[in-house]
Amino acid sequence: MGEYHHTIDDKNRITIPSKIRDELGENFVITRGLDNCLFVYPKKEWDNIITKYRELPNTKDARNFMRFFLSGATEGEFDKQGRVKITLPLTKYADLQKDCIIIGVNERLEIWSSSRWEQFITNNEDNLSDIADKLFASNI
């Protein structure tokens, strides 16, 4: 969990905060996420996702989603400074240019361009109360 502000350098490397690196572990996968951000999964969680995908029916929607989600997936590794290199297709997909936001969302990280994150917050902040009511009404 949390929100961290970082930059991506000219070589498409971004520093992952040390607290998150420890939780993420040395083996992780970066892929296209939803809403034009990147998803970063610990390897164990990634393996769980792949197991679930294998159970999906062989429908056009399932095939298309798996193509989108899996084609950009790449194994990540940290350099000595705690940076991870993001492939050019993923960088372009998420529009990562300089200022980036890293957020923790349950079992994964999300990497957003700063401008897209601000736009997401602006577009959704007025609806969050209604969304919470719909999602949690039966649990409150």
Q: Give the pLDDT confidence of 17-39 residue by residue, as tens digits.
A: 888 888 888 899 999 999 999 99
pTM to 2 decimal places: 0.87
Confidence band, pLDDT 50/70/90 cuts, at residue 126:
confident
Domain boundaries, the chain: 3-113
- The CATH number of domain 3-113 is 3.90.1010.10: no
Q: Are 30 and 39 in contact (CB under 8 A)?
A: yes
Distance CA 140, CA 133 (A): 9
Confidence band, pLDDT 50/70/90 cuts, at residue 139:
low
What lies within 8 Å, CB to CB, of 14 at 6+ separation is 6, 7, 8, 83, 84, 86, 96, 100, 102, 111
**Token pair 């705690």 in the structure block, residue:** 82
In this predicted structure, the answer to whether residue 7 has a pLDDT above a threshold of 80 is: yes
Distance CA 46, CA 6 (A): 24
In this predicted structure, the answer to whether residue 72 has a pLDDT above a threshold of 60 is: yes
